[in-house]
Amino acid sequence: MECSDIISEILKVGIHNYSFEHKLQLKTKKPTPRLISWYTKYAWLAGSENLGKLFCYYCLLFRGEKTWGSDGISVMKNFDRKASKHAISKTHLTSQEQFMLLGAIRIEHALSEGRRLAAIKHNENVGVNRRILKRLIHVVCFLGKQEIAFRGHNEDSSSINKGNYLELLDLLSREEQLLREHFMSNSVFKGTSSDIQNDLISSITSVLKTKISNELKKANFISIQADETTDVSCKSQMSIIFRYVVDNKIEERFIGFFDVSKDKSAFGLSEILLTEIKNWNIGDKLMCQTYDGAAVMAGQKNGVQAIIKQSYPKAMFIHCYAHQLNLVFLHGSKSIKSVKIFISDLTMFHAFFSRSPKRSQLLREKGFKLPQSCETRWNYHSRAAATITTHFIELKKAITCVTDEDDWDPITINMAYGLLHKLSNFKFVYLLCLFKKLFLYSDHVFLILQTKCTADVQYCVNQIKIFSDQLIAMRKEETISICCKSAMELNSELQYSEKNIIDLKILTYEILDSIIVQIEVRFKDFINLKFVEFTNNTSFKDYKNNFPMDKLMELKNHFPDIFNLERLQNELEIIYNSPDKYLTPKDLFNYLYKNNLLDVYQEIKKFQNCYN
């Protein structure tokens, strides 16, 4: 047990919380900082440098006289008289006796050999039970990590598949005698019941929450990420993640799923987030927030991010690279009914062909396949739109084969007619062409944000501006004409009446406006992150001759109370004047860490902890 100040640790933890072995270690570790003559004169005397006080080590360990044991002596006047008086007191002598007997043969053991043997047997049983419990915990952790179900449909002894939890324990018991003997002999506690499984899960959850709580206390800055999802029971949920740096390592901790099926409004979602921020006590450290593409999440005036910012102004809304742009824009545009229907229709094509080998073979014969449907795969919709437009004729022929031939079941034929109708629907084919064009832009910007987000903020800002300008430039009748022409090239049977064109113009402008607003809201704070380029190693040579004072002032404006700007500037100038430190942010941090230089570059460490 190592500690820089044992006395402070004992007072903080409490001697009653130490194990017998730790108490034995304390017997030989009495701290004696300075005042050597007094420690020689009074063998029981100990000192705490942190507290600046002297203590009776015996009374400290065994709860003797409060003045000498827990309060400590800080006034040295008449110390010899006080110490001599204490040394003969009853409480001191009692504590001294307990100290001397610590580690000696216990009275009950000396009196009863039977008790001694019983204690040995008990300790052996405890050791065995702990090893058994350890195996059960490992199984629970393994199943949780692999996201595998615990229970089986039939867990009777005669069942050939009792569920993953029981089957995994059975597998381990075949190779481990201790576990096998436990299951064969123990009729009281086997650890296999559903109640025990739930208790183990709850206990592990409690331990993990304690670990996360301790990490959050150590972290200087914290960001929060929330995403909407739907579970297998079709219940709407919101997942919450905390991201922070602790012990020089970036951590992402999953906090939990929260049921939002009753209230998915911005107010309802923000109430859950605010409650969790309060429960985990991270409000003062909250620097960043990020959410997925739901409009209610990212709305500028009444969205979740705006509500959170009212309570925590420092919590900038930052686009997360894990939130794919075209998914963000699609989900954000789902409030437009036609877009919602289009997204659903887009996924139906893959669903139709993937669920039957016979149908899949039809596409293979045509020389292509549809991309696998996955709501979380960032470029699924763009690849699906591109594939359908590229192979429009072949896809239509494959579906027509199903509707025209007799060897297909009625349900399949009915579904095929539905898809064929979509390929002949003027609005669906138009949106196919429109979104293909939009996805070309968004995919390009997304790749840039993934690779250059922290390396060159200004470049990313420029690309976002170009993207926004491209969308604004599309708000003209020429866009509708081009998309209508492309749609008719795909399906020559399509006809666009004047009313159709007017309706499509309104819809197109509505879609473009929705995406433009989302870009503005999502990247509003990102544009103010130019100071992140402090650690852009490709600019170090330029910064050496011309320090980026404008970025330093920008940092001061956003976070006036967090950084020591004078020290940060000096640390950065040293870095800029040292070519051997022209490293990427990650490599620079590792260099400082490995060479024990983090105390030298305290503000750079703080800066990177904040924006890693």
Q: State which of 105-114, 240-249, 328-337 shows the largest mean pLDDT.
A: 240-249
Burial degree of 612 (CB within 10 A; 0-12, 13-18, 19+):
middle
Q: What is the pLDDT of residue 246?
A: 87
Around Cβ 510, how many Cβ atoms within 10 Å?
14
Residue 428 domain-assigned (yes or no): yes
Q: Are residues 352 and 460 in the same domain?
A: yes
Q: Are residues 495 and 349 in the same domain?
A: yes
Q: What are phi and psi of 246, to 5 degrees?
A: -145, 135
**Is 90 exceeded by the pLDDT of residue 243?**
yes
Q: Are residues 330 and 315 in the same domain?
A: no
Domain finish residue from 503, 524, 545 = 524
Around Cβ 458, how many Cβ atoms within 10 Å?
16
Domain count, the chain: 5
Q: Are residues 520 and 373 in the same domain?
A: yes
**Whole-angstrom distance, CA of residue 526 vs CA of residue 460:** 9
Q: 237 forms bridges with which residues in the sheet? A: 229, 259
**Is 80 exceeded by the pLDDT of residue 456?**
no
* Residue 441 structure tokens: 């832009």
**Is 80 exceeded by the pLDDT of residue 462?**
yes
Longest distance between any two alpha carbons in the chain, whole Å = 111
Q: Which of 82-86, 103-107, 396-400 has the lowest mean pLDDT?
A: 103-107
Q: Helices 380-390 & 426-452, crossing angle to 10 degrees?
A: 130
What is the helix (H) or strand (E) element at residue 549, kind and residue range? helix 549-558
Domain finish residue from 201, 227, 250 = 201
Q: Which residues contact 365 (CB under 8 A, 6 or more apart)?
A: 398
Residue labelled with tokens 């996805």: 439
> How wide is the angle at C-alpha 245 spanned by C-alphas 219 and 604, nearest 5°?
95
With contact defined as beta carbons under 8 Å apart, do 390 and 422 qualify? no
**Is 80 exceeded by the pLDDT of residue 390?**
yes
Q: State which of 76-85, 118-127, 211-220, 432-441 shows the largest mean pLDDT.
A: 211-220
* Residue 67 structure tokens: 């003045």
Q: Which of 210-214, 233-237, 439-443 has the lowest mean pLDDT?
A: 233-237
What is the helix (H) or strand (E) element at residue 290, kind and residue range? strand 286-291
pLDDT tens, residue by residue, 247-287: 878 899 999 999 888 888 888 889 999 999 999 999 999 98
pLDDT tens, residue by residue, 44-93: 888 888 888 888 988 888 888 888 888 888 888 888 888 888 888 888 88
**Whole-angstrom distance, CA of residue 212 vs CA of residue 208:** 6
Q: What is the pLDDT of residue 378?
A: 41
pLDDT tens, residue by residue, 194-214: 888 889 999 999 999 999 999
Residue 191 domain-assigned (yes or no): yes
Q: Are residues 409 and 464 in the same domain?
A: yes
Q: Count CA atoms closer than 13 A to 414's CA, side-chain side.
A: 3
Reported confidence tier of residue 517, pLDDT bands at 50, 70, 90: confident
Residue 1 domain-assigned (yes or no): no
Instruction: Name the residue with higher pLDDT: 421 or 127.
Output: 421
Residue 124 domain-assigned (yes or no): no
**Whole-angstrom distance, CA of residue 507 vs CA of residue 514:** 11
Q: What are phi and psi of 510, to 5 degrees?
A: -65, -45
Query: Average of pLDDT values for 452-468?
Result: 77
Residue 128 domain-assigned (yes or no): no
Taking alpha carbons only, the member of 568, 579, 570 closest to residue 609 is 568
Q: Are residues 354 and 468 in the same domain?
A: yes
Q: Are residues 502 and 410 in the same domain?
A: yes
**Whole-angstrom distance, CA of residue 445 vs CA of residue 467:** 7
With contact defined as beta carbons under 8 Å apart, do 210 and 277 qualify? no
DSSP string, 171-235: HHHHH-HHHHHHHHH-SS--S-SHHHHHHHHHHHHHHHHHHHHHHHHH-S-EEEEEEEEE-TT--
341: containing domain:
326-524
Q: 259 forms bridges with which residues in the sheet? A: 237
Q: Are residues 406 and 492 in the same domain?
A: yes
Q: Are residues 512 and 550 in the same domain?
A: no
Domain finish residue from 319, 342, 373 = 319
Q: Helices 426-452 & 457-473, crossing angle to 10 degrees?
A: 170
Residue 486 domain-assigned (yes or no): yes
Interior/surface letters 53-88, b for 16+ CB within 10 angstroms, e for the rest: bbbbbbbbbbbbbeebbeebbeeeeeeeebbeebbe
Q: Which of 3-17, 140-154, 440-454, 490-504 has the lowest mean pLDDT?
A: 3-17
Q: Which residues contact 299 (CB under 8 A, 6 or more apart)?
A: 266, 305, 306, 521
Q: Are residues 429 and 507 in the same domain?
A: yes
Around Cβ 205, how many Cβ atoms within 10 Å?
12
Reported confidence tier of residue 27, pLDDT bands at 50, 70, 90: low
Q: What is the pLDDT of residue 253?
A: 94
With contact defined as beta carbons under 8 Å apart, do 251 and 212 qualify? no
**Whole-angstrom distance, CA of residue 265 vs CA of residue 142:** 36
**Whole-angstrom distance, CA of residue 573 vs CA of residue 442:** 37
Instruction: Name the residue with higher pLDDT: 169 or 235.
Output: 169
Prediction pTM value? 0.62
Reported confidence tier of residue 380, pLDDT bands at 50, 70, 90: low
Average pLDDT over the chain, rounded to whole? Answer: 82
Interior/surface letters 389-413, b for 16+ CB within 10 angstroms, e for the rest: bebbeebbebbeebeeeeebeeebe
Q: Helices 380-390 & 337-354, crossing angle to 10 degrees?
A: 70
Q: Are residues 553 and 601 in the same domain?
A: yes
Q: Are residues 405 and 519 in the same domain?
A: yes
- For the chain, first and last CA: distance in Å? 34
**Which domain CATH number covers 233?**
3.30.420.10
Q: What are phi and psi of 521, to 5 degrees?
A: -70, -45
With contact defined as beta carbons under 8 Å apart, do 250 and 609 qualify? no
With contact defined as beta carbons under 8 Å apart, do 290 and 257 qualify? no
Residue 89 domain-assigned (yes or no): yes
Q: What is the pLDDT of residue 222?
A: 93
Residue 54 domain-assigned (yes or no): yes
